[in-house]
Structure 1
Amino acid sequence: MATATCQLSEDQFLCSICLDVFTDPVTLPCGHTFCKKCIDQHWRFDAAFKCPYCKQVYDAKPEVRVNVFIAEMAAQFRQSQISATHGATAQRAAHSEEIFCDFCADPKTRALKSCLVCLASFCESHLEPHLNMAILKRHKLVEPQRSREEETPQRPDAEIQELIAMRQHTIQQLRQFMELNNKDANSEIAKSAQAFTALKDCVERDLDILIQEITRKKKTTEDKAKQYIVALEREISELKRGARNTKDWANVSIPRPTYEGIAVRAMAQLDEKLAQQMSMAFFAELERVQKEKVYVMLDPEKVHPKSGSQSNTKGSADNKPVCKCVLASQTFSSGKFYFEVDVKSRSKWTVGLARELHVNREVALSPQNAYWIICMRDKNEWYAGSEPSVRLSLKSKPEKVGVFVDYEDGLVSFYDVNKAAPLYTFTGCDFPLRIHPFFSPCQNNGVQLHTTPESSCILQ
């Protein structure tokens, strides 16, 4: 068996997803084999359960188990490779071993790069800051290698001084970053305090006016009652002295003041004033996110149905309209960005973000399926895509929708641009590696896309 194993090539034991020797190999019904972790992760981000190699699609997630035979063969092959390099030098042996990310919790993920400045190894996920943050882009990245001090040769003084200088420069940059971060936070606190103080002052002023009006009514009634009391006491004195010409007080009454509706009217006036204050705050917020504006181009290769396709007709057999769905050509994997979509001429629309168009079954447009959208249906009904969907209460029909995304903060906010009014915000979003702006000018049944034979609304 060992001889037969050595005659097999490495390609026969490589997973086509991670391009490494199989670990816990599982075989799909179509006969193709992958690492269990690789296929599970692939299906987690893929709305369709299909084979990554032959693209065969399964209606439901196939039940897969570790292929014991291939696992044993892969283990023997891996052992044969280790045995073949047993006589290499200690340095080569160290490089041939698997290097794992120093920051992953168990189970550890294989390292993609090692940093000579941080003296640590990083997987693809934890390497992201080194690729995007200006402070860390200066660091020297190399192929994964161990950093044990006993295996590190003594560095010359010049190299040590260079490494020290680099670290001191990084510390200085981090301190500058902290100072700017502190300045930004204090500025935001001051602006927020000013806005809330203005709202508080407005409420207190209107409350004072309300109290004064109620007090005025009360005083007017009390003054009239006091006048009657003085007059009555005077006549009592006159009657005691024998006076006969007195006033008839039998039908004297004082109407009680009416307070019904006074507080409601005051709150209605206050609501108008607060709305003005809120509108000013929303305009300022919109102006701030618009500084991250990008111009989005729709990708003709990422539209469905495409021109000339069978589904690109005026209607399906049951007269249901064809639904166009399209992604932007740009992809985003970090930072902040903002784009706008003109929906004034659309009676039905869906706007937001998506990972990709490749589903072949009914799918909910929700964050669980890597969609972050809002949509308008018939009769001016607006919804945010979620499970279950969230109905939005809008005072007017938006003509232009703005979408702001903070990738690192996991935030997607939608705005009515002309009204400078917030529509809906997704928070705590777990974005995939890349996301596209997404648009569909059709109803989508609210927040679902269908691929059943009865419907033409298809994403693929």
Structure 2
Amino acid sequence: MKIKSSSVIVHVQSDKCSIKIFVDMSAVSCLLTEDQFLCSICLDVFTDPVTIPCGHNFCKTCITEHWDINVPCQCPNCKGVFNMKPELQVNTFISEMAAQFRQSAQQEASSSSTYSGLKKKTWLFLLVCLMCVFISWMVSEQKKHDFVALKEEYEEKKIEQWKTGPEILQMIQKEIKHSMELSKEDTDRQILTAVKESFERSQAELIETIKEKQKTTEKLAEGFNNDVKQEISELKKRSTEVEQFYKAQLEKLSEQIMKLLPESDLKRVQQYEVDVTLDPDTAHPRLILSDDRKQVHDSDVRKNLPDNPERYETHVFVLAKQSFSSRRFYYEVQVKGKTAWLFGAARESINRKGKITLRPQDGYWTIWLGNDNEYYALDDPKVGVFVDYEEGLVSFYDVDAEALIYSFTGCSFTEKLYPFFSPCLNDGGKNSAPLIISPVSH
């Protein structure tokens, strides 16, 4: 007995009988139904089946035409939407299964027509031959039986068996049914094995394909990531260059704007800066002058100095060595850390002995700070003094703010003017910081 995918061929030969019988196995129940091989678009058996990302299967032509008409790409079954049109590859496993199903259906139709053509008058002969088939099959499956002995026994009882024909037919039908069941089980087992092997092979191929696509995707992603990093690096470099260029242009623009703007009043008078030093012959005996004659402070101790006419006797005042009688002059004094100070300009003939009143009528044009927070003007780190002899002007400036503090105008100068200074009393060390004649910072 030889078994093929969808049929059984039985060959029996003896001294009196030799026959080949074709048994169609399409009647054997199939593990897969027809619906599983039908495309849900054309409702026919798959042709070039493809599997889309959501897992559903369609004919390649059907799903392609469906997506050409419907945008975006959407699964006709689950309505899943794909942002990019999936790449379609024929699913070889489903294609092979569909082809086997189609062939099985064709063979089923062919075998049905063959059986319908048998003539009714040969039924008895066919039954007898089928009995021979059964005997031959029993011999091949059960080797313990002796075919020769069975034949002799059959010859001896042949007349009796012919007499009980209906019983023999029933036995033959029963054995044929059992044989068909065994064949069906063997066929189903082979189908399961073939399906399993085909599925495992297709699954392994699918996994390998997915791995290859994953590797390709990773390479593409790595390349894209490197491109993005390079682009970011170039953008940062460009950003730095742009920022540097912007700063340089801003500085140039600021310089140009400053050139176009009118010069501040302080900048204008600072150009008349003069070198001023203190005159020790005019300093009160308690005052200490630095070696460079640029600083002065109160020592709380009265030194024994000659009482010459130029020296202040009662107040801790001192004049500059330089005098001015027909020009403009400007100097700056640093007052940082002091709680009281006094300076400005004084004419040559001022009173230097006894009680002195600091007012223009008596020849003093000054600005002062007293008791730490009682301002006549302002307490600033640096104060500028400008004198315009011809215009009769004495002005005081807040150097840091470039702002005018106060101006004496309409003055009448007829004699020499001296820069005038007083660090005020030491006040137990609270006002020990010196007055400092400082250079102008342009």
TM > 0.5:
no
Q: Which has the larger radius of gyration?
A: 2
TM-score for the superposition, normalised by structure 2: 0.30
